[in-house]
């Protein structure tokens, strides 16, 4: 626990890295920590592109506007919200449940929930289902508290971005705890980077690029400022 709090308080956005290699073992530990983050319905709606090979890293760094953290990092992780993975994830979890001898009842429950999720979350062609469902939920909300699920394509990507961001934070804290540093970046050319990675506009959205490496000795962090607790917290 001390280690976790230590990593949280110690982590800084590092802007210049030493040229060191990140071993495959370390890479796996960091990525494993990322995917252990909580996600909505445990759907894990993301894909991480770990870019470490010289030429590809240089291209991605250029698409991060040539920012110093990107140019000097040992690896660049492109964190992508991915709503195209949802049915494969459901199938994969079902296979895991069957192989782990879950009861038929539990498997049926999961299948039912997944089916409801599919109906709720699918916007349909031109968002037609989304509009119908929006109206149905709007009417339902008139007489009982029922909220509004992500109904349109844009809402769905936003929904996936929340879970992706949590995985990103896990990744950065794990990296820090394992002795490497990071810099999250949203300064990138999303259109060109998406094209470079072969992403689809329909299913993917790049949430951030995380530069990873060993902090350069020449880099001195500025003092860390945060808004006071009372300005960011309301205790009711």
Ligand X SMILES: Cc1cc2nc3c(=O)[nH]c(=O)nc-3n(C[C@H](O)[C@H](O)[C@H](O)COP(=O)(O)O)c2cc1C
Q: Give the footprint of ligand X on this chain (CB under 6 A).
A: 12-13, 15, 67, 69, 183-187, 208, 224
Q: Which of 6, 56, 30 is nearest to 212 (CA)?
A: 30
Strand, coil or helix: 59: helix
* CB nearer to ligand X: pick between 130 and 184: 184
Q: How far is the CB of 225 from ligand X (least distance, A)?
A: 8
* CB nearer to ligand X: pick between 156 and 185: 185
* CB nearer to ligand X: pick between 86 and 210: 210
* CB nearer to ligand X: pick between 86 and 183: 183
As a whole number of angstroms, the distance between CA 47 and CA 164 comes to: 8
Residue nearest to ligand X (CB): 187
Largest CA distance in the chain: 62
Q: How far is the CB of 44 from ligand X (least distance, A)?
A: 20
Q: How far is the CB of 128 from ligand X (least distance, A)?
A: 33
Q: Which of 120, 128, 177, 174 is nearest to 151 (CA)?
A: 120
As a whole number of angstroms, the distance between CA 109 and CA 115 comes to: 10
What lies within 8 Å, CB to CB, of 228 at 6+ separation is: none
Q: How far is the CB of 107 from ligand X (least distance, A)?
A: 39
């Amino acid at each position: 626990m001390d280690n976790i709090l230590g990593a949280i308080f110690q982590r800084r956005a590092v802007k210049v890295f030493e040229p060191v290699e990140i071993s495959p073992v370390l890479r796996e530990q960091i990525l494993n920590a990322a995917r252990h983050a909580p996600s909505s319905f445990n759907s894990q709606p993301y894909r991480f592109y770990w870019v470490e090979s010289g030429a590809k890293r240089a291209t991605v760094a250029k698409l991060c506007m040539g920012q110093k953290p990107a140019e000097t990092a040992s690896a660049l992780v492109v964190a992508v919200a991915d709503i195209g993975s949802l049915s494969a994830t459901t199938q994969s979890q079902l296979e895991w449940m069957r192989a782990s001898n879950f009861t038929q009842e539990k498997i049926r429950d999961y299948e039912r929930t997944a089916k409801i999720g599919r109906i709720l979350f699918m916007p349909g062609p031109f968002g037609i289902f989304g509009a119908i469902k929006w109206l149905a939920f709007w009417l339902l909300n008139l007489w009982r508290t029922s909220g509004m699920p992500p109904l349109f394509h844009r809402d769905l990507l936003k929904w996936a971005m929340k879970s992706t961001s949590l995985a990103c934070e896990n990744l950065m804290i794990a990296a820090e705890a394992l002795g490497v540093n990071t810099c999250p970046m949203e300064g990138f050319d999303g259109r060109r980077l998406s094209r470079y990675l072969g992403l689809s506009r329909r299913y993917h959205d790049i949430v951030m690029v995380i530069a990873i490496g060993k902090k350069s000795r020449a880099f001195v962090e500025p003092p860390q400022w945060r808004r006071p607790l009372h300005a960011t917290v309301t205790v009711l």
